[in-house]
Structure 1
Amino acid sequence: MAFSIRLTEDEEILARRYAALMGVSMGEAFKQALFEKIEDEYDIAVGEAAYRRCLDNPKTYSHAEVLKMFGDEE
């Protein structure tokens, strides 16, 4: 899939300099930045959901309890 975006002159200069610094094309620089942002936002959402679950059920387990639960007793 291909797409285009409009950049101001200053934004284009910054993008070109960044791509050159990273040794990649502008398309690759934008692609990397987009997926890094998606991964960051996903990680934040998953972390917040886990935190809410922890607040709803604050039970914690020791390392030994977890090993026992999963049948890996040493």
Structure 2
Amino acid sequence: MSTISLRVPDNELAIFKAYAKHNNSSLSEIIRTTMLAHIENEYDLKVFEDYEAQKASGTLKTRPVSALWDELKL
């Protein structure tokens, strides 16, 4: 496992520590999960924006859900 160093103002560190304590978690775990959630949210937004752009341009390809069930053999 790797270690990173992060410089933050003392007042922000106090906020981070209080949040971690409130959530019964370590500061490292809070920073890690928050960062991963932020990345996931940005990815989800990009996927949604691409979907909307394809829909608006008329290039969106769809298929019936029954085709998915057949493909998955469900």
Same topology, TM > 0.5: yes
Matched with 1:66 is 64
**Stretches (4+) displaced over 4 A:** 58-61
Task: Tell me if the contact between 2:54 and 2:60 (Cα under 8 Å) persists in the aligned partners.
Answer: no
Gaps of 5+ in 1: none
Offset at residue 23 of structure 1 (A):
0.6
Identity %: 22
Gaps of 5+ in 2: none
* Structure having the higher Rg: 1
C-alpha RMSD of the superposition = 2.3
Question: TM-score, normalised to structure 1's length?
Answer: 0.79
Q: What amino acid sits opposite 2:64 in the alignment? A: V
Q: When the two structures are superposed, what TM-score results if normalisation uses the length of structure 2?
A: 0.79
